[in-house]
Structure 1
């Protein structure tokens, strides 16, 4: 990963942003004192002693810098990045000047969810934080604390005229989201260390890390299908692969549907009737009113938000792969919404949409602004991912069920949520809260809202069968 060649500057005047270093002040002061002392005391040896300092300073300043260094951040070209994937990026410093940069000090901030294990210049051996002695040439060692990122230290190099040097960063992405690399900055010393530039800082680049899709499969049973494509069998006759019975031949029936065995026995043409294959609309509702647990990144503990985002990606991938239409909704003050659609493009849009999921606490009831009659189809299967930490979430589920929606509630609260360690009434209060939550879940089930805990593959099989069975039964009340 190399940066582009930097063109030479054509300016003649010194650029702003360069300042003398203490070394230049000491050289001028020492040469001046020796010359003055030699003249006043008539000492030729002092004048001779001052000559190297004066000539060396003048020679170093014969060519002054005319432009500040350029700093930019670039990402690797490895395609979409998923949790646990390899991160590749580079912080580059370019020299657009007509003088060499004798010393360049670079440093960059990196998100803690991007674990940078190796960092170094292309021409140097990379730093590996797992090897205490692997410190590259030109890197300022800051110790080998494993808790710190390798990139969290200054790096030192030099840059020739009209060239660029890349500080390559490599590691792992630990969690989904938009994680910044940067801001990055550099300071440059030139003219033999007599001139130094101001710090040049570039804006951060946000690296998109998509959630890792957990394995998920569900039965084909859907409460109600719509449309004319898809893999779910509707209750309406039509062209499809599910056999619905045998009936007498009628005008318009295809000849390939004739059941000759039944026709010969009945001495009248009969055809095989089928059920049409139809797609379903699946609405995944994300409860973003509260968060619980601590995220440990990929392979670690999962918070409510982690489970919600990863489960949403898995459910959307499953149903979109089957040809269904999927839409997303946020239950919160922002009320973000992704329109229903099908296909791979919708899946990529879902992943991009999930990167901006955040917890938004609100004192107001967000139901009306989220569930307008034009936003939620009456035939859609609504999968609600909620930790059930807020009473408004339970009320929302009950209102959906009373409105005749097909609702499935998925509990995203971590099973290993630790109880308070404080002495006194904290543990008792935690136990009472747990009991109150179980009572609330029981009341939701009494209202016809199945509540299941997310467990990956097969989590929704039984509950989808029950919802589909309820959909075929007579319903009381209108929608």
Structure 2
């Protein structure tokens, strides 16, 4: 049996001031009748007339509250701005409007002031910790302007915001009206990243990387004898005159590559301090993924994203600026997700990874399952590069007995695991911004071009 719907609270209710005015007027009139004193009636008349005059126009419309934010491309460390507005849709002015809002701690609000007012000064806490009071004329709205700095990537809330107003000279008050929060998108700050042109294997038809196949390109492969089908502009006249036979300059074709950025989200470590503070595992992972994607997309390569976790989110490979914006939007929803099960088969379904793709795995290597995943990818013939995203300044707690010794043992075990991965052909390098993967990509490209020995 369902419970009956509760009646909605009244839109406007009398305040304690109205109760006191009515009570005082009644007491004076009653005393005047009982005691036969006219002077008490004279004293009651101002209270009665003042109350009646204040209530001659009673408000019927509740205030309106809404939140808006700047929709510009906002990056970590950039300036964020928003507005919380309270409006009066009726014909009766609001004598007092009390407005209050909440803001995500990752949006550091340094200025919060009503339109035309001054910002609060000398406050250590956020300016939004206090309510704001104003008056609102009929058919107008008053804006609370917020400005500050975005400290961390993600979708951060501005709101909820609530307002409560008083009208009729403070004799009537409205019920609280709330506005749903909105989320401001803050994209990760891409750290400087550059990599060599060497790629393990280029599989596309066009691109900026030099493949091992002859074709139309800019990389000289050698000089050979002219053959039917060769273009005349490829003739090397100097060699042809010396050899008394037509020779052409052969080139290597330019191909694009597919780069798969795999984000290990099984565990989180470290404490995030925002763009100017310490970086957690997720901070390093997201910022490195954005930098790698930006670099290869700028070169015309195809970039795909995968999450190694229970949700197994994926972003199909594509090229261009639209893909870069899609990558940034996709990275906003990255979060740590622990799972008791092995997500390998769930993540790497059929036809997810191309045989020629370069797989860059961003992992803190905090779980054995992550190392097993890297080893399985390497055994399957993939070109895998592991980027260590564990913070270098991670320190153990010193006030928990054997915690420091346990931390040192865990570090030794992790170093052993990394050494075993390198023995299996998986290079592991810490993320250090520009040039982090240069030497590794050279080694992987060298291994890819080396002749393979096939067993009988």
User: Given the two structures, how large is their TM-score scaled by the length of structure 1?
Assistant: 0.92
- Count of aligned positions: 447
Query: Partners in 2 of 1:338 and 1:250 — Cα distance?
Result: 45
Which sections of structure 1, spanning at least 5 residues, go unmatched? 1-14, 133-143
- Where do residues 179-194 of structure 1 align in structure 2 (5 Å cutoff)? 179-194=156-171
| Aligned residues of 2:10 and 2:175 also touching (Cα < 8 A) | no
3-state secondary structure, aligned to 2:41: helix
SS across alignment from 1:125: coil
- Inter-partner Cα distance in structure 2 for 1:177 and 1:415: 23
Tell me what 2:91 maps to.
98
* Secondary structure in 2 matching 1:81: coil
Structure 2 partner of 1:55: 49
Per-residue deviation, 1:150: 1.1
Alignment partner of 1:72 is 2:66? yes
Q: Deviations over 1:451-475 (max 9, x none)?
A: 0000000000000000000001133
> Per-residue deviation at 1:424?
2.5
RMSD over aligned CA atoms reads: 1.1
Q: 2: CA distance between counterparts of 1:284 and 1:261?
A: 47
Tell me which residue corresponds to 2:20: 26
Q: Which residue of 2 aligns with 1:138?
A: none
Partner of 1:228: 205
Asked if 1:109 is matched to 2:102, the reply is yes
Q: Deviations over 1:264-311 (max 9, x none)?
A: 111221111000110000000000000000000011000000000000
Match of 1:470? 447
Cα offset for 1:251?
2.2
In structure 1, the residue matched to 2:3 is none
Q: Which residue of 1 aligns with 2:317?
A: 340
Quick one: distance in 1 between partners of 2:185 and 2:155?
5
Q: Does 1:295 align with 2:244?
A: no
1:383-440 CA-partner distances (Å, limit 9, x unpaired): 0000000000000000000000000000000000012212422111111000000000
Name 2:179's counterpart in structure 1. 202
Whether 1:261 aligns to 2:255 is no
| Structure 1 residue corresponding to 2:127, chosen from 150, 153, 165 | 150
Residues in 1 aligned to 2:431 and 2:453: alpha-carbon distance in whole angstroms: 31
Q: Does 1:316 align with 2:268?
A: no
Distance between the aligned counterparts of 1:122 and 1:420, measured in 2? 48
SS in structure 2 opposite 1:182? strand
Q: Residues 193-219 of structure 1: CA distance to partner in whole angstroms, max 9, x if unpaired?
A: 000001101100000000000000000
Structure 1 counterpart of 2:253, from 269, 273, 276:
276
Cα offsets for 1:312-351 (capped at 9, x unmatched): 0000000000000000000000000000000000000000
Q: 2:79 aligns with which of 51, 73, 86?
A: 86
Residue equivalent to 1:10: none
- Distance between the aligned counterparts of 1:90 and 1:72, measured in 2? 8
Displacement of 1:223: 0.2
Indicate the residue corresponding to 2:6 in structure 1: none
CA contact (8 A) 1:291 1:304 kept: yes
The CA distance in 2 between the partners of 1:232 and 1:289, in whole Å, is: 33
Q: Distance in 2 between matches of 1:389 and 1:341?
A: 31
Counterpart in 2 of 1:358? 335
For residue 114 of structure 1, report the CA deviation from its aligned partner. Answer: 0.2
Determine the C-alpha separation between the residues in 2 that align with 1:227 and 1:390.
35
Q: Is residue 242 of structure 1 aligned with residue 219 of structure 2?
A: yes
TM-score (norm 2): 0.97
Report deviation, 1:252.
2.1
